[in-house]
Structure 1
């Protein structure tokens, strides 16, 4: 059943109104008809099966048939701070990271980031990122849409990181040491409800200055397996590992 995230102002008693791109999608893409059912997600995380009662060009009226007692949101609140990569790799991280359960994303301007954001284009980029995450949330049946923050210098990220329970950064030099800190060990210390911040470097990784700053501010360097991962792979490795540990391992 097709799922849509609907702003809170479009919910009134037993009625939900769908507008804009979602209305176009219902009307022109999947060609729904009056009487068809869809799932509508409220920003508070609740979802309801809704029956279409009217379809116009830019508006779809529905009534709530039943509330769903479901949630696929992870037990761990994970924020991915992604060093700005080249090309469209950030879009890939946002899409796949949303599917894997990330709660938030922070694009980070790091020393070795080749890309430097043009402030004039930032608003356009953020709108595109919001659309990618919304569509990925609908596709993966998330209950909430992850947030994407504005590009943040690493120094600012460090200074604003005190609200997290566990702070990690993927450090390729950690993979080269004998007495390394494994990501698995870090995951084993996590508990349901924890807020986790995982920082991933851009192509080329972190500079020695950045690594030292992170360590001094209680970020733990971790190895993401014995192989060196691409920047767009690292965050997905971390999210998949956490998902397996908390959502699948208990069923084995």
Structure 2
């Protein structure tokens, strides 16, 4: 009887194989999921910033206004540090040297890694859109390629990811493309080995954040854009919408005391 139950359970939980490999062939980070312990976050104010997109001047203004460079502060970037903006290289050089900063990987960070990889081919011609990436060097590759997909802070019940997570799956079973590009979820035949599947089409399926029931507050760019009105933030969090500093990109920030 126990063996039959075991077989039945294994059939029920059968799922589509997951992959930690990005679609474009760029390398996955050696440590895909990072955890920040109390030795790092204790007695720190957390500043959580999304989508800098190469806006260096606005970033400096933002960090200054929020005192996020003070000794008692920790800065967390939710992906897409670069691309689109006017000073991508300056942002990258600055963030790499910040002693109190951590970041996860975004889809635009991966796009830049892809362009850097293609540039190694002798016959590759850079498009105007990515012409600025010719400034980047090996240290930039090393930094961007090792950005993790998620950052967890158990003591504050915070989980950072750029795009999204499939609810009900542990981190080690999450697909790399979902974590950097997912917007919605679609439910397919569970017994066919699928169940909830992420997609990057905002017009199909259901917002993944509306289904999130995890123990940790999962913070992502897509959650902020599509589900911010339904979020129940802890009382000691202050949401700061930085319209003055980064209104061209509608970036956002949270302060966690």
State whether TM-score is above 0.5: no
Ranked by relative contact order (alpha carbons within 8 Å, sequence separation 6 or more), the top structure is: 2
Larger proportion of strand = 1
- Please give the TM-score of this superposition, normalised by the length of structure 2: 0.28
Which protein is bigger by CA-based radius of gyration?
A: 1
TM-score w.r.t. structure 1 length? Answer: 0.29
